[in-house]
Structures are given as C-alpha cells and as structure tokens.
Structure 1
C-alpha cells in the first residue's frame, strides 16, 4: 500500500512540475549574432525614431487640417496609430536586450507582448483592406465617395477591423497558458513570437499549431483576396476611361496604397513560411527579417504617403516652414 502511495505522490509531483509555467523567459535577441547585437541596435533605434516621427506627423497633420478629413486620410491616420502601437510593443524591449543584455521577460509580459504584436498586425492588415475599399469607392463611384464612406461608416469599419483582430488573437495567450513548460525557457528570438513560444512547450501543441496556422491563413488569405477583388474592380473601371491620361491619373491615386501593401504582405508571408516550412533558412536571417517586418512598414508608410500625397506634402512643408520662421 505504501508503495502505491509513494508512486501516486511521485506522479502528482511530476504532473505539478510539468504543468507549472516558468516565471520568466529568456530572449536571446538574434542567435548567432550576439557579438554584434550592440551595433545592430543603432539602425533599429534610428528606424524606430523615424517610425515615431513620421507617424506622429501623419496623425497631427490629419487631425489639425479640416481639408484632410476625407476617408483616405482618416484611414491613413488609423494606419499610423496602428503602426505606432505595433512597433512600440517590440522595439523598446529589443533595444534593452541588444544594449543592456536585459534578456529576461516575465511569463505574463511575454503573453501580453505576443498578443499586442499579433493583434495589431491583424488590425494593420484589416486597415489595408479598408483602404483598398476606399480606393474602390473613390474610383468606381467618385460622385458618391463621401456619401458612402461617411464618418459614421468609417468608424464602424475601424471598429470591425479592431474587433476582428482582438477576437482572432485573444485565444493565443489562453492556448499558451494551458501548455506545460519544462526546463527550456530560452526563446531564440528578440520578441515573444507565438510559434517561438509554442516550440518551448513539452506538451501536445497540435491545437496551438493548427489554430495559429488557421488564423494566419484566415487573416492574410482573406485580406489579400479582398484587396485583389477591389483592385480587379478598380482596374476594370480605369480601363473604361476614354483617354490614357485619365486612366493614369485615376490609377495613380492607388500608388501609395499599393506600396503599403507590398511593404506589409511580402515580408509577412516570407516570415510566416520561413518559420514553419523553410527550416534551412539560417536562424539569424529569419530573426532579422522578422524584426524588419515589424519596423519597415511603420517607418516607410509615412514616407510613401507623404511623398505621393500632395495635400500631406504641402501641409508638412507649411508646418516646418512656420516653425523655421
């Protein structure tokens, strides 16, 4: 009887040990490039500075100029706010890792960071869909553009995009919280990426992997399909225009949005595919691309829209001229 009791106690102890979460994880940064991480942090810091500067300028310009309260600029303002939150959820901790070797992150903080990264990535994808719909309405129904996309409608679209991101990503931390983590608490990454944390678990992760794959395919696949349909309709409408100049002028209004789409989806798809299928890609290359994916679009979007959008370019120019005087 005593032997059975001891066996039962040992089993319970083992179950309790394996079911406990670690108090903290260790973020390595960029595995394989630890010796040069201190210097790599400088370009990342400069990129983050440009993210803060560019996106704050976009938000201030749109909010303070009544002439920029049209649907395209309101969606651009929301995209800038999303980019600010997305980059801020990653870069400060990353710089602490690179410069001060502050690699520890609490288990709960890791889940929060992971949620914000993936949630606002989903929201950014939804914003790009909303901006594609705006271009479709502006080109195919120019006389009804403002009446269709009223401020009320824009607010509802933004609410739907945000709610979709929250609802789809919310299960991630709960699914991770149910997993047992054993001795390995080292994350070979510079931030708490979902699959990187899942791989540390010593339990059955099939539900986490399947749900993560479904969410990515649902967000990227569905959004890319909607954007493609929007541009198919736009192209059909543009090709009906009588002159080459009219066709070029109409389609040129989509240039900034097409650049933003390429900046977001190309590295996102590469990062997703490399993380799950391309195991021959060196880990430091994958981590650098993942970091760039969270910094390049937020940094370049204000530049792209600032250069290509006449109203923003003039407004920013007048702001700096006024301050210089």
Structure 2
C-alpha cells in the first residue's frame, strides 16, 4: 500500500515539535489542508502555542509508550534527538546518545510500524558521513559512513537499525542528513556569531579559504515536506544544503551585511588559528572554522525534483531580522 491510498487528511506525527526544526515542520504542515499534524512535545506547556494536536512525551527511550501518538498515523517525522554538544559532560557519551538516538528511535519506529504507519522520516546528521571533506570533494549520500564522535556514531547506528526494521516490516524509511541548519531562532554557535558581529568585536577570521555547506531552515523543511509523500523518497538517504558553499570569511561577511553592520575581520592565516586552537584544546572548533565540509545534493535534486528555493542571502536576512528583533 502506498501513502497515496491512505484516506485524507493524513495524520503526520512530528517528534521534537517544540524544537528548532520540529516546530518549523509542524508550522508548514498546518498550512496544508490535507495534513493533520500531531506535535510531540515534552509537556503540554511546550505545545501551548501550537494549533495542531499535541502529544506530550516526557522522554524518549526504549520504554516510551507511543501507541496513542502513532495511532492512525500515516507518516512519522522523527526530529527529536539527544543533540550534539561542543563540550560533552557525560563520561560515557556514546551510551547516553544511544539511549535516545538509537534505542529511543528504534522503539518509536517499531511501534509506528505495528500501528500501520507507512513512512518514517528520520532527521539524521551529516556527521554520519564525517567531520570534514577535502576542498571541492563533497560528501555524497552513498559514501561509506565515517562518523568520528559519539553523536555521529549514534545517528549512524539508528540509520542502520531503521533500514533493518524497514525490511522486516515493510514500513518505508527516509533518511535526511542535514548540514548545519540556520534560520530564525537559531541558537548555539550561529547565534553567538551574530552577537559578536553585532557588537563589532574584531574577529581573526578574515583569511579563511575553506568551503562549508549550510542549509536554511526553510530549505530543510521544504525537503521534509517533499519526502512525506514523494514515491521516489522511499528507502533513500538524502543530503541537503542551500546549494552554495561559503567560506567562514564569506559567511561572516554575508551575515554582517544582513545585520546591517560592518564585518571587522582580521586576516589571520588559517594555519596560525589552527595552531592556537589546538594549543587551547579547541581542535574541534578550529576544524569547524577552518576546515571544509561540503555536500553534493545532486541525488536529492534528481530523485525528488527538489531544489533549494530560498537563497542564502534571503535566509540570512530572515535570520538576522529575528535576531535583531528579539536580542
């Protein structure tokens, strides 16, 4: 049975619905008449501003009961996860990541398949491919995975388990591996970067000639929406980006322009930055700032007819506007 044969409106369950990506997916689904989204949140209070149905789930683990949430659902978009953090505090980080990202995901998927869900869309991570690419040698969706940290390993293990489950149950699995996602409401390093630029703090990143793929929240959500029903998405793994790669220097310059400020970038050689970062124990941060991470989205374009409709300039303008309004 295909998704098209399911009686409309299609019940779409979205986990992580109070999060950065999940909330945007629910908002997009709310605008489509034939979709009936169910927002999975940690508590009812998290879903107060959502117009869709809300299903509170305090935590995601191997023991979570999803039966009421996935009942009569056609599709699950699994955006919830224990996310990657720059400085992990758990001594056994992989075990902690596995509890949510592997065991919790498989438990949800098994209950979804048992309830008759036709398609399971898993929001994975480009970290499954690896941390870095050679310049102009992008990752592809069919490359051999090479995760190097606990978060990436847990996402790969979840992908592998979902593929096995799909063969066992017939439930279609779609895997999406986003690069760094930015947009209105973005947090962590991207928001810190905007704060530095807005304050006019001189930054030593004026001479970095790497290339990194990013994806705006709008472009990621548009791909997820396509994957909900597109017949060619079943069983596939997709990489997603804005289609244009930027150096760290270019990203800072474009973001400063969007913020309406002058970028104060000092042209310090990348090798010198890397040396000092390693000396200060910040090798991972140096890698993100100075190294390349590019993705090839030709498979996504070819199989789905999808293309990133929102330009980097427009996405940065939208991101900067929200930042200036609220901070």
Q: Same fold (TM over 0.5)?
A: no
Query: What is the TM-score of this pair, normalised by structure 2?
Result: 0.23
Q: Which has the higher strand share?
A: 2
Query: What is the TM-score of this pair, normalised by structure 1?
Result: 0.23
Q: Which has the higher helix share?
A: 1
